[in-house]
Amino acid sequence: MKKDFLTLLDVDSGELAALLAEAERLKALRREGRPHALLPGSSLGMIFEKASTRTRVSFEAGMHDLGGHALFLNPTDLQLGRGEMVRDTARVLSRYVSAVMIRAYKHSTLEEFARYASIPVINGLSDIAHPCQVLADLLTLKEHFASLKELRLAWIGDGNNVCNSLLLASAHTGLELRVACPPGYRPPQEIVDEARSRGAVLTFCRTPEEAAKGAHALYTDVWVSMGNEAEREARLRAFRGYTVTADLVRMAEPDALVMHCLPAHRGEEITDDVIEGPQSVVWDQAENRLHAQKALLVRLLR
């Protein structure tokens, strides 16, 4: 594996498959109550420029399960918040902890940190990628389908960080991603091109209905990501008609999965009955963050 995990380009398809297998193994060990302190004495610094429930708690609980320790570092409490350079912080933290996880507004912050750090740096969400989320999503899909290769996954809504990471997941696994985004909210062309050059199977659809038809899973995310709050009104207008409703779910395969990375805004990108309905696997996705990230930590630190 490469030193860092900033996007899904930092693993090859074989490494991704091995990570998912390790996550399944660690999930089983935890379920059986069998100790798996594979990283005794390891520590993970966690820098959050934005709010988080799942990422923060799953990394912290995960390090505990593995016999290590996690430190929550609020950038406004660090000297970073008073203008200490990212590169200086990276070199200093490298002398104290085994790895750092960062949730940053700008992906370039993560890249600079990783360039200067001598320890692994993990992306806990940036403006362009959310690779840890997609590890958990692939694990969730694997639990329901024999092969990822034959899957049709419909992305409905904003072509955002989670969508970008799914585009690269398609390149690794061969799953077909059908993307329905309003005009102006498609994923960045350079990421689409990169994913396609690596074999991603991508179809851009004109409507949510076109994407949903015959899909094995429907995936959506908020219309207003963290950092986009100033555009809220314009976005609510642009995304009208992109709600994942029970009618849309009926257009997919029978028993198609309904996915959401959470947090959700019921009544905007997804209706309450759908997220609470029998086809929703959103709580499994959230749980699988723990297992997938533990596998990642083990692979990076052992």
Residue 38 or 290 having the CB closest to ligand CP: 290
Name the binder of 53 from ligand NVA, ligand CP, none, CB < 5-8 A by kind: ligand CP
Of the candidates 253, 154, 260, the residue with the CA atom closest to the CA atom of residue 211: 154
Using CB under 6 A as the criterion, what x/- string covers residues 128-157 for binding ligand CP?
A: -----x------------------------
Residues 6+ apart with CB under 8 A from 166: 134, 137, 153, 155, 177, 219
Tell me which residues in 200-239 interact with ligand NVA (CB under 6 A).
Answer: 221-222, 225-226
If the CB atoms of residues 94 and 225 are measured against ligand NVA, the closer one turns out to be: 225
User: What are the C-alpha distances in Å from 2 to residues 18, 154, 171, 284, 302?
Assistant: 14, 30, 18, 28, 13
Q: How many CA atoms lie within 13 A of 184 on its CB side?
A: 7
Q: Which one, 55 or 271, has the nearer CB to ligand NVA?
A: 55
Regarding 135 and contact with ligand NVA (CB under 6 A), the answer is no
* Closer residue to ligand NVA in complex, CB, 22/137: 137
Give whichever of 160 and 173 is closer to ligand NVA, judged by the CB atom: 160
Q: Nearest-CA neighbor of 222 among 165, 177, 262?
A: 262
CB count, 10 Å around CB of 48? 18
Window 254-273: residues binding ligand NVA (CB under 6 A) = 261
Hunting for tokens 């297998």 — which residue is that?
Answer: 21
Minimum Å distance from CB 178 to ligand CP? 22
As separate numbers, helices (DSSP H) first and strands (DSSP E) second, the chain gives 12, 9
In a 3-state reduction of DSSP, which class is residue 63? helix
Task: Please report how close the Cβ of residue 210 comes to ligand CP at its closest, in angstroms.
Answer: 27
Active-site choice (132, 163, 181, 261) = 261
Angle at 50 between CA 118 and CA 289, to 5 degrees: 70
- Number of Cβ within 10 Å of residue 109's Cβ equals 19
Instruction: Determine, following the binding rule CB under 6 A, whether residue 195 of this chain makes contact with ligand CP.
Output: no
Q: How far is the CB of 235 from ligand NVA (least distance, A)?
A: 12
Q: Is 218 in contact with 247 (CB distance < 8 Å)?
A: no
> Nearest distance from residue 263's CB to ligand NVA, in Å?
7
Should residue 216 be labelled a site residue for ligand CP when binding is judged by CB under 6 A?
A: no
Rounded-to-integer distance, Cα 300 and Cα 302, Å: 6
Return the one option of ligand NVA, ligand CP, none that residue 285 interacts with (CB less than 5 to 8 A, by type).
none
Per the annotation, the verdict on 103 as an active-site residue is yes
Where on the chain is the footprint of ligand CP (CB under 6 A)?
52-55, 125, 133, 261-263
> Catalytic amino acids?
103, 130, 133, 221, 261, 289
